[in-house]
Structure 1
Amino acid sequence: MDKRARIRWFVLLSALAGTLAVVYWPVEGAVQAASVPSTARHAPPRTASSPAAGTEPAGADRLWEPGANDPFASRGWQAALPAVAAAAAPAPVAPMAAAPPAGPPALPFQFVGQFKDGDQQLVYLGRGEQMLVAKNGEVLEQTYKVVSVGQTQIEFEHLPTGTRQIMPLPAPDH
């Protein structure tokens, strides 16, 4: 190991040792602060030269509240609720009526093309990057069943709800 690497390691290990010493070294002030009650820690000491209780400026008592001088304490923009409103029980909420069952979602397929194979009509559908072939009785993505394929429309059954949906087809070009 060359001299530069030794110096670098020495500096890094010294910094590590110093950090560990600061973290684990007991501090006399911390022991004393832990034994003082929390209300006494935040309240200013009252002396004979302190102003009378009625002569303090408005809001001066809030300066010594816990967290008042903490720049990282969460604060809101809304004023605090009055004590009477906060103590009142919340009004009971009426239970919501059951929502009516939602119908099937809109058909997720787009018409791409069609092909007549003998007596059977095949319709090519797209869903994103996926290509699907729809024919009578076919189940697509375990959600839609093709009930019938006609010249002008395809009838689907949404299997979870049992409702039927129709997709119109464009007129074939001859």
Structure 2
Amino acid sequence: MSVLPYVPAVFTPGDRITLAQETHTRDERGHWACDTPLCPSSFTDDEMRRFFADPRTLAQVGPLMIAPADLAPGDPLPGRVVESGEDPFELSRPYLMAGTAGPSHMPFQPLRDDVPGPWGFGQRTRVSHKPLARMRCWQMTLTPTGVVWLRLPSGTGTYAYIPADEPGAEQIEALMTVAVLRAAFPAGAVAIEPDRI
């Protein structure tokens, strides 16, 4: 888990982001529309990226979560096959994890981190610090945008690893200020208003 929230480095049509308990789905043009008629507007890719690392958004609604479009258990994994012995993960790059959290027929969803950060429970991440070779029993693919897909044997789970970045330099100071204040003053002890910092 990182104190700084990770920002998806790539988006694909069909991706879904949870924002303020509403699910927004990305179309072919890079617009994100809410899945319910009560949603006020749609957002652009740039706006979504900004929300992931905006202290005010994080304080109000918590960390955003991303998952690719649903994938049925029998569907082929997107992208090209990762060869045995090949490592599809970039070293030291964080990946946001989504998957079935169980057998492959279960709903596809963002996977929640087990440990809360400054803004609550975020999305589980994976960072490679040494090469990981594909095991023979795994189905593994790599898309042109760098998303790694993994299906475990006998339908025991399907997962996607979405490349992510740390927030930009201009966002880090505000994020760290809020993170330090939240660590020093636990929830409920004091109201922290990011827009006044």
Greater helix share, structure number:
1
Q: TM-score, normalised by structure 2?
A: 0.18
Q: TM-score, normalised by structure 1?
A: 0.20
Report the structure number with the largest CA radius of gyration.
Answer: 1
